[in-house]
Amino acid sequence: MTEKYREFLKLNFYQIYPKSFSDYNNDGCGDFKGITQKVAYLAELGVNAVWISPCFKSPGIDSGYDISDYTDVGEEFGTLADFKEMLDCFHSYGIKVIIDLVVNHCSTEHEWFKEGSKSKDNPYHDYFYWFDEKPNDWKSCFGGSVWQWNERTKEYYLHSFTVEQADLNWENPKVREEVKKIVDFWVDLGVDGFRCDSLDLVSKDFVNDKKCYGPRLHEFIREIFGREKTRGLYTVGECWGTNEQILKDLTSEGRGELSSCFVSGNITHANKRFYLPERWDYDILHRHITKNQEFCEENGLIFAPFFENHDLCRCVSKYADDRDLRYESATFFATLLYTLKGTPFILQGQEFGTPNPYYDDIKYFDDAETRKFYELNKDSMEESELIRRINDDTRDGGRHPLAWDGGLNGGFNDGHEPWLPLHSRYEEVNLENDRRSKKSVFEYFRKLIALRKSSDALINGVFKDLTGDRKDCFVYSRTGEDGEIIVVCNYDRESEIVLPFDVKKITGNYPDGDGKTFRPFEATIYLKIKQ
Ligand code: ISL
Ligand code: CA
């Protein structure tokens, strides 16, 4: 690994969902000025990088992932000058900023589509995929067909997501030129990298009937990011179905593709899609993490661990205990996250243990996927069952206005009705309450992030799984120049865990116990004592 890659390993990311972070001008939608006024808070937490979800011009059908102008910001967030002010503020605190690059598709309100759908000889027609007849029965990620009829040209166009998100035809070199221009625009403005949305979909394989990971994927990505101008950026691709070989090709240093990838090994992602009340299988989690850590180590790759993002619900609810053991659950995941090798990501609110909210009517939900799921199932499923499943898994779960305190609108703004309802538990679970509590999740995150920054073992150290055949805990070591750190993460039941060597406790989420009886979700970090 070169020095540049080692620098990336020092990053720890915080995902800002800008619509729901902080609403400065009190119009119901979070904005750049709202973010700017909270940069000092993020610096106090200790994050040194943020990922800002889409804040571009968009009709908002898929919450900003349907972009109608890539080089301008949405008015609801402020002006480009406000964006720049926010960016400079982050940089003044030494915090790097990456933004979403959503170029598998654009909004049907984008000029390209408005023009291209007019006629077959329009210069923008080839920016999209068109067929006289449906060439296959591919399904949209949100359910239903990917093919939509366009009366004006009497053709079908491809949309992997909503009807209003037309897939861009990357086979057309002009499209790739446009993507480069977008990237360069933001790089010139000063952003430090990109989170590349649905990147695995940009090369399709119609011949072999594959919607993603087509034959030109690597070539396309290299064309965008392998250039002199973009080689220093931190880029993380959203590539769920990546296998080991693809991961290696996508993220090996020197190939000019990506710095890192979000892969499904972090989460039991597949469960989510069906809105099933599945709980985490800890053993699967353990095996996936171990496999990924070892593979990345062997190949000098950067892993991007995370448990939450704007498409997932909250981990304390979905996989642990969001009531009596909410503190223990939230800090258990934090311990895992910050002691693995890679560039960890958290979602806003995770740092004070935000659980899933609950709403009893579909009218309280905004997410395109959730609404589609409701539409597709409302005639065949009992309403109460449908609402229960939606609450359990909706992508809105992590998108509600951030609860800064228990007062008016949770401190998100000064009282204007927010674009999405306040979190149903905001009066109880909010940052202010958490920070006042003796068991503060925020304080634990802050401590852990500081520990990580000061430890060569946690940043560069080699990962080794020490769990053996056990199914009730995850035990591993990280060995760096400054020693060997041992992490014990006990799952949801009490267990006896006796380490076969001497250790000294560095920190943990429970007060000292007897050193061998681990309580539910107890997570402890030790330094191994050299014999
Ligand atoms: O969220 C999912 C399932 O519930 C995924 O299938 C998700 O749609 C997929 O990971 C792609 O996600 C990204 O692109 C989408 C957007 O809706 C998501 O918010 C974004 O993260 C289309 O741009
Ligand atoms: Ca606002």
Q: What is the pLDDT of residues 71-94, one digit of tens each?
A: 999 999 999 999 999 999 999 999
Confidence of residue 270 (pLDDT cuts 50, 70, 90): very low
What's the 250 CA to ligand 1 centre distance in angstroms?
A: 20
Distance CA 57, CA 71 (A): 8
Tell me which of 62, 238, 328, 367 is the catalytic residue.
238
Cβ(103) – ligand 1 distance below 6 Å: no
- Most distant CA pair in the chain: distance in Å? 78
Tell me which of 82, 100, 197, 492 is the catalytic residue.
197
Distance CA 402, CA 32 (A): 15
The pair of structure tokens assigned to 211 is: 């919607």
Determine the residue of 63, 65, 312, 370 to mutate for testing ligand 1's pocket, defined as the one with the most ligand atoms within 8 A of the Cβ atom: 65
What's the 32 CA to ligand 2 centre distance in angstroms?
A: 8
The pair of structure tokens assigned to 120 is: 């077959």
Residue 82 annotated among the catalytic residues of the structure: no
R_g over Cα of the chain: 23
Residue with the smallest CA separation from ligand 1 atom 9 is 198
Residue 167 has pLDDT above 90, yes or no: yes
The ligand 1 atom nearest the CA atom of 141: 6
Distance CA 338, CA 306 (A): 10
Which H/E stretch holds residue 23? Answer: none
Residue 53 has pLDDT above 90, yes or no: yes
Q: 361-398: buried (b, 16+ CB within 10 Å) or exposed (e) per residue?
A: ebebbbbbbbbbbbeebeeeeeeeebbebbbbbbbbbb
Q: DSSP label at 421?
A: P
For residue 64, give Cα distances in angstroms to 56, 59, 73, 194, 397. Answer: 7, 7, 10, 16, 17
Q: What is the pLDDT of residues 287-310, one digit of tens each?
A: 889 999 999 999 999 999 999 999
The lowest-confidence range among 266-280, 321-335, 447-461 is: 266-280
Query: In this prediction, what percent of the chain has a pLDDT beyond 70?
Result: 98
56, 18 contact by CB (below 8 A) = no
66, 165 contact by CB (below 8 A) = yes
Please state whether 394 falls in left (phi above 0), alpha (psi between -120 and 50) or beta: beta
Q: How many residues make up the chain in this entry?
A: 531
Indicate if the alpha-carbon torsion angle 244, 249, 252, 257 is positive or negative. Answer: negative
pLDDT of residue 279: 72
Determine the residue of 110, 194, 197 to mutate for testing ligand 1's pocket, defined as the one with the most ligand atoms within 8 A of the Cβ atom: 197
Closest ligand to residue 37's CA = 2
450 Cβ neighbours under 8 A, 6+ residues apart: 46
Looking at every residue in the chain, the average pLDDT score rounds to: 95
Cβ(161) – ligand 1 distance below 6 Å: yes
Cβ(272) – ligand 1 distance below 6 Å: yes
What's the 393 CA to ligand 2 centre distance in angstroms?
A: 27
Cβ(273) – ligand 1 distance below 6 Å: yes
Distance CA 371, CA 374 (A): 5
* Coil/strand/helix, residue 252: coil
Q: What is the pLDDT of residues 209-230, one digit of tens each?
A: 999 999 999 999 999 999 999 9
Confidence of residue 311 (pLDDT cuts 50, 70, 90): very high
pLDDT of residue 283: 86
Residue 238 annotated among the catalytic residues of the structure: yes
Residues in a beta bridge with 324: none
Q: What is the pLDDT of residues 430-483, one digit of tens each?
A: 999 999 999 999 999 999 999 999 999 999 999 999 999 999 999 999 999 999
Cβ(102) – ligand 1 distance below 6 Å: yes
304, 341 contact by CB (below 8 A) = no
Please state whether 142 falls in left (phi above 0), alpha (psi between -120 and 50) or beta: alpha
Q: What is the pLDDT of residues 11-37, one digit of tens each?
A: 999 999 999 999 999 999 999 999 999
Find, among 458, 497, 433, the residue nearest to 46 by Cα: 458
Distance CA 195, CA 238 (A): 7
Q: Which residue has the tokens 């997932």?
A: 312
Q: DSSP label at 210?
A: B
Residue with the smallest CA separation from ligand 1 atom 23 is 65
Burial of 132 from C-beta contacts in 10 A (0-12 / 13-18 / 19+): exposed
Closest ligand to residue 63's CA = 1
Cβ(473) – ligand 1 distance below 6 Å: no
The ligand 1 atom nearest the CA atom of 238: 10
Count of CA atoms in the C-beta half-sphere (13 A) of 512 = 5
CA 20 to chain centre: 15
For residue 281, give Cα distances in angstroms to 120, 288, 294, 406, 512. Answer: 51, 11, 20, 34, 28
The pair of structure tokens assigned to 268 is: 């039991």
Cβ(129) – ligand 1 distance below 6 Å: no
